[in-house]
Amino acid sequence: MEFTYLGRTGLKVSRFCLGTMNFGPETSEQDAYAIMDAALDHGINFFDTANVYGWQIGEGITENIIGRWLAQGGGRREKVVLATKVYGEMGKWPNQSRLSALHIREACEASLRRLKTDHIDLYQMHHVDRATPWEELFIAMETLIRQGKVVYIGSSNFAGWHIAQASEIAKQRGMLGLVSEQSKYNLLTRKVELEVLPACERYGIGVIPWSPLASGVLALGGRTGGAGDSRRNRDLTKPLREGHAAQLERYGALCQKLDEEPADVAMAWLLSRPAVTAPIIGPRTIDQLTSGLRALELELSDETKAELDAIFPGYKTAPEDYAW
């Protein structure tokens, strides 16, 4: 396994981040345990979850599964860089969602209980909260850091200007500030190249791409790395597949020429992108986990990258992309 630093920090994380969103709804608890054990065996030390995963309001199903796995001991907690998120609805009362100081405090305490740990290594804001002032948000995060309950803070689904604004305000407060950003990023979805990625590079923020295979579409019907090839998933991705049919056909031909799995090519491309720390993989089975490790060994030539850009055009940094 390759390791890299998370953004500008001294924290080393694996080049793949284990996503756990399937644990509970799609993957049984025992299978989830086996996947997490296998991830550690392969050197994956970066695990990501969220308090809303499991999708039953207030239950924290996935966090509970991870907590029971960690409680088995054997050095599990010590080996894992544990990341979770706050923002989503955890109850029907007004202050049981979003990023008020009150909700951040209560959500963190609840996540700690479910995860059966005394601290969260990376506490991420799952979405920007336009109603909460940055000062209020950072007061809450500062308190958690001072109490030893949170080590680093990150964001998810932020715009570039949100990242810049948050980083500057954190700097004024003498805080380390954001160290990571989770963004939807894959060959089919490259808008973050306009402003999010440049902002992350400027502020030393590690990018953690989610949906790296575009819900399995970039696997072209082969190994999906956890996105699933169920009938439900095929129905959900049908518009995406049909809307990009010509591009995907060219992509399949390129992968065939390279003699590589399309899923591996898509992941290897992401790993080569500026500011990218670790794409999130969300396997439903151990086979999906282990088969996806090939991407770590796959180095794409400049010629192949140029071909990928021709098939899936990206963006220049703003404002040059649209101004000149």
Q: Which residues are catalytic?
A: 53
Token digits for 98? Answer: 């979003």
Distance CA 261, CA 264 (A): 5
Query: In this structure, are residues 101 and 131 in contact, taking their beta carbons and an 8 Å threshold?
Result: no
> How far from 10 is each of 76, 169, 202, CA to CA, in Å?
21, 22, 17
Determine if the peptide bond prior to 319 is cis (ω within 30°): yes
The residue type at 189: T
Q: Copy the structure tokens of residue 46.
A: 């970066």
Three-state SS at 258: helix
Residue 301 exposed, middle or buried by CB count within 10 Å (0-12, 13-18, 19+): exposed
Q: Which pairs with CB-CB distance under 8 Å and at least 24 residues apart come from 87-95?
A: 87/125, 87/126, 87/127, 87/129, 88/50, 88/51, 88/52, 88/126, 88/127, 89/52, 89/57, 90/51, 90/52, 90/57, 90/58, 90/60, 91/57, 91/58, 92/57
The Cα–Cα gap between 88 and 98 comes to 6
